[in-house]
Structure 1
Amino acid sequence: PARTTIISALGRMTDDGPALLPHNELLQMAGRAGRRGYDTEGHCIVLQTRFEGPDDAWHIIRQGPEPLQSQFNVSYGLVLNLLSVYSMDEAREFCNKSFGTYLRGEGAVKRQAEIAELEARA
């Protein structure tokens, strides 16, 4: 944790060549500013380079967050580790509490209801 974070560049090299940082990554880096329990606020300094300027920073911020996707994968190793510590029911409950399960189940139902409501307004 630090009171101030400094972001030295808004771009990075990707497989497709240079690209601006995604919104979520910029916020993740900027969000490191401020020490929990010590500071009431943090500061983030974004350095201008010859390749990126204020317009690029504004573009990234205005993009809005990218959708979250679960990276949770049930593998044989995970199952064996869970079953070495938990009962079958407890292991199943553990997996059912994952973000991916939420998105596929309850979250999907809520999203469909929100979509229907927005379409009804349009």
Structure 2
Amino acid sequence: MKFYNFMTSQDSSVQLVDQAVLLFTLGEEKEAESLLVEYLSRHENDLSAWRALSEIRLSTKDFSAAEHACRKALSINPDDLTSNVSLARILVSQGDKEGAEEASSKARVLGWKDELAQDEHNG
């Protein structure tokens, strides 16, 4: 009997990011980062993987690399709330107060838009 794998690329992306997050949580930052970097070399438009890589690099204080990963996520979706919040945090860590304020302002506006959309949907 033949087994068919019906997992979509979206499913495999979620599993890989979840695996990287688990590795990171277990203190295996370098392994998590390597897993994501290798995956992103083949799937360069995976927003969730760029987000995860950015957060891992921020936590290891590799601010320049964290900013690069975060900006890559934002190039995929400039209106991604999570990435805008991350960018503000990264820029604060780098001492870029003006850039952090700009990213934070955009994140606030995106958050408000999201709240309004949810209110319309629920109302």
TM-score (norm 2): 0.30
Higher helix share: 2
Q: Larger relative CO (CA 8 A, sep 6+): 1 or 2?
A: 1
Which one has a larger percent strand, Structure 1 or Structure 2? 1
TM-score (normalised: structure 1): 0.30
Which structure has the larger Rg? 1
